[in-house]
Structures are given as structure tokens and as C-alpha cells.
Amino acid sequence: MILHKAKGTRIEGKKSMSKALPLHEYLNPPFVFIPLLQQATPLKRIVEIGDKVAIGQVVALREGFGAMPIHASVSGTVTAIKKVWHASGRMVEAIEIQNDNQNRMDESIRVQTDISLLSRNDLIAKMQQAGLSGLGGAGFPTYIKYQTKCPIDVVIINAVECEPYITCDFMLINAYPEKLLKGLSYLMRAADAKKGVIAFKTYNTDIKKNLEPLLVNYPGIELYEVKDIYPAGWEKYIVQKITKKTYAGLPAEAGAIVDNSATAIVFADVVAENIPLISRVITISGEGIKNPQNFFVPLGTPVKELIQLAGGYVESLNPMKAWYIAGGPMTGRAILIDELVVNDTLGSVIVKPMPDEKHHPACLGCGKCADACPVYLTPTEIQRALESKDSQAIKELNAQKCMQCGLCSYVCPSHIEISDYVAKAKELLRKGA
């Protein structure tokens, strides 16, 4: 149908900035801070100040829905419980661990010898024990997705990374192509799926070059190229493209499970060596950073140290006239103080000078926001309904479908915060319901 063809908008990638330098491993920061928050769920701390911890030792528990353990990412001593800035834009309590640089491993970390004997349930249990969560940015506990009752045909690895600046998945895949395929084959076993697909953007020819020769050893895995548009990395978009099926709630309804490439790579280690989720790759980029690059770091590393390793801020940077963005530039959050720590959902930190302020005219009604919307909303109408507090109209206009990709604000020629109105309308619906 002409009205519902998949679409997106081309946005300048600016990815070459952080691709120039190789992946920088920074495994032993003097201190790490494990935030006591996973997604929006507060964690229960199970270590006390003064306790000695080893890498991979459980230090906190997520309880209730999505229950799973959270592990220490370095070995050392718990020295304090203090508040740190978190990617959610708030200050949260964190366990401060002083690194003793001895890299002592917890006894749970050992090489798994009987991988081929592990059943589907064993693999799912391993995901839970490893505290594996979606590393793409949502942080959803992975094992929940694999406990689905729906039959799964295909596991899709989302390596699209459609937001500008971010290259962390790209760097990680090119560093560990074999691990990605291994991780995916384990994920397929955990889902009883016959097929695995790795989706990436067409211009990422390096990924193709690195993965293609290895595919012969992994039957059932294929590569899938998506167009260089935003939001091509949107889960629904990829699932619709690959399975040709649509769904309302979860991809499992269309027989698919989608995981981030970094999650698959971590899962390869989880299965082979029982190493839980303790590290990730993060992109430090933006016009405000001297040498933008990617870092492989233990979770809880202060971002400040990484920025220093990346040469610090450029001299001309005036922080009051710049943004410090946790996450991608399209969906991320402005953090007011540069005391952020790396957590599982933080894929990038972008430091970017603000553009010059201009006077912008009122909405001229060009309708570019409605044109750009990937879920075919009419943001101007939602704004109108919001201003008159008409929650019935907001519901009819399907504001709940909005995934906050930010494209409407991006294309607005009058610089109106139109996606903010839609987000507020969505909020109003949630409160009303």
C-alpha cells in the first residue's frame, strides 16, 4: 500500500570520525562504579564496604521481572557506595570498587567443555546467570526474550547502528567477527531457530568482508544489507524487512528474536568461558572531542577517563555552549555534568558544540514531520490534541505508536520540538490509562 511502505530519512553519518583510530582496550581503570540500576529497576546490593571482590563475582541482584545477577567488572575492594551520574539522566547509587589490578577471576568463570551438550534451557539459564542484557540501548534482559512460547524461525543480529556518530558495534564486529558468528549460533540454539541473520548497513563493507569468508562454517547464517537511512536499525523495520511479517507487540509474534551484535559477542564468551556481562565497547565522539575513538572497557568505568584518553575536549569547547550526550544524537540524553559512568545501555558519549542560535519562524505547516514519521503519525495533529488535552483524539491519532526516533524534530524547518509534544502526548495517554 502506497501509504505504508517502509521508509526513513538519510542523515549524515559522521561515523568516520571515530573509525579512524583502532579499538582502544582500557581494562584496568583505578575505580569502577557499578550503578545499582538496570533499565528502570533498582538493584539489591549484596556486598558491603570493605568486601574483596573478583571479576565476575555477583555484587547486586535485579529482582522481580527480569531477575538476574549483576557482576563486578574488575577485581578489588568495595570502597564506597556513592551516587554517580547514570545514562538515564539521573544520579543513582553505585558500588565503588577500587581496582587492585590483579585481575582475579571468580571461580564461576571457567572454560565450558561440553558446549555441544547444552540444551536450550541450559543456554537460557546461562544468559540469566551472566546478567546478559540488550547492549543496543534498551537494556532488556535477554533471557526473557528467549523464554517466549512463540515458535522462533530466525534470530536477527541488529548491527545496523543507524544513529550518526556511533561506531561501537562496527568496531566490535570487525575485531571479533568469529565470536559474533559463534554467539549467533548459540543464540539460534537458545531459540531453536534454524536461521540467523546479521543485518547491517550497505556502506559497512568491512563487516561484509570480515564475515563473508567465515560463513561457510556456520550453516543457516546469512548477511542482510539494509539501506543507509534512519531509523533502519529500528527493530520493527528490520523484522518486517527480513520476515516479511508485521507484529504489534514483540518480534517473537513474527517468529523472530532481535539482539544487538554486542550482545551476541558477549554471549559467545558466556557460553564458552562463563564470563558474565562485565564489559562493553563505547564510542567517544563528537566535534568536541579531540581524538574520537572507541574504547573496550569494564562496566562502571568513568567516562571522564575515556575522554582524557581520547585527548580531552577540544580547546575551543565552551561547555556551557555544548552538549554532553549519553547515547546517540537522535535519541540520547543531555547530561549536565560530565561525571557519567559506563553502564550496559551506554553505547556512546557524544560531545557536540551547540549550533548558533537563530530565530525561527512559527510552524508553517509544511507537513515534513508527517512525511518523515516512520509510523505514519501526524505530529502536528497530536500537538493540537495535546494542547486541548483531548486524550481521546491522541489515542485515535495513535500517539502510542511513537518510538521517539526524533525524526520529526530533525526535519522540522522551523526548529520546533515537535517530537517532545508527541512524547508528552504519549505520557498523557499512559497516565490516563
Interface mask toward other proteins for 3-42; x: CB under 8 A = xx------x-------------------------------
**Interface residue with other proteins, options 50, 213, 249, 355 (CB under 8 A):** 355
Instruction: Give which of 19, 81, 94, 84 is closest to 48, Cα–Cα.
Output: 81
Residue type, 94: A
Collapsing DSSP to helix, strand or coil, 261 comes out as helix
Distance CA 367, CA 348 (A): 32
> With binding defined as CB under 8 A, does residue 331 bind other proteins?
yes
Q: Tell me the C-alpha to C-alpha distance, in Å, between residue 199 and each of 180, 219, 323.
A: 12, 16, 31
**Interface residue with other proteins, options 314, 398, 424, 429 (CB under 8 A):** 398
Q: Which residue, 149 or 358, is less far from other proteins as judged by CB?
A: 358
> With binding defined as CB under 8 A, does residue 413 bind other proteins?
yes
Whether the link from the prior residue into 164 is cis, omega within 30° of 0, is: no
Distance CA 58, CA 106 (A): 9
HEC letters along 130-185? CCCECCCCCCCEHHHHHCCCCCCCEEEEECCCCCCCCCHHHHHHHHCHHHHHHHHH
Question: Any idea which residue has 568469529 for its cell?
Answer: 178
**Interface residue with other proteins, options 380, 386, 422, 425 (CB under 8 A):** 380
Instruction: Give which of 377, 366, 421 is closest to 401, Cα–Cα.
Output: 377
CB of 218 to other proteins, least distance (A): 37
> With binding defined as CB under 8 A, does residue 138 bind other proteins?
no
Q: Contacts with other proteins in 143-202 (CB under 8 A)? A: 164
> With binding defined as CB under 8 A, does residue 366 bind other proteins?
yes
Instruction: Give which of 350, 34, 5 is closest to 168, Cα–Cα.
Output: 350
Burial (Cβ within 10 Å: 0-12, 13-18, ≥19) of residue 402: buried
**Interface residue with other proteins, options 93, 122, 228, 381 (CB under 8 A):** 381
**Interface residue with other proteins, options 40, 111, 216, 337 (CB under 8 A):** 337
Pick the piece of the chain touching other proteins (CB under 8 A) from 105-113, 139-147, 250-258, 321-329.
Answer: 321-329
> With binding defined as CB under 8 A, does residue 376 bind other proteins?
yes
Pick the piece of the chain touching other proteins (CB under 8 A) from 29-37, 151-159, 266-274, 350-358.
Answer: 350-358
CB of 363 to other proteins, least distance (A): 5
Instruction: Give which of 258, 272, 311 is closest to 18, Cα–Cα.
Output: 311
> With binding defined as CB under 8 A, does residue 352 bind other proteins?
yes
**Interface residue with other proteins, options 354, 387, 389, 432 (CB under 8 A):** 354
Distance CA 312, CA 289 (A): 6
Q: Which residue, 243 or 409, is less far from other proteins as judged by CB?
A: 409
**Residue ranges in contact with other proteins by CB under 8 A:** 1, 3-4, 11, 164, 313, 319-325, 329-339, 350-352, 354-356, 358-367, 369-371, 375-378, 380-382, 393, 396-398, 401, 404, 406-407, 409-415, 417, 419-420
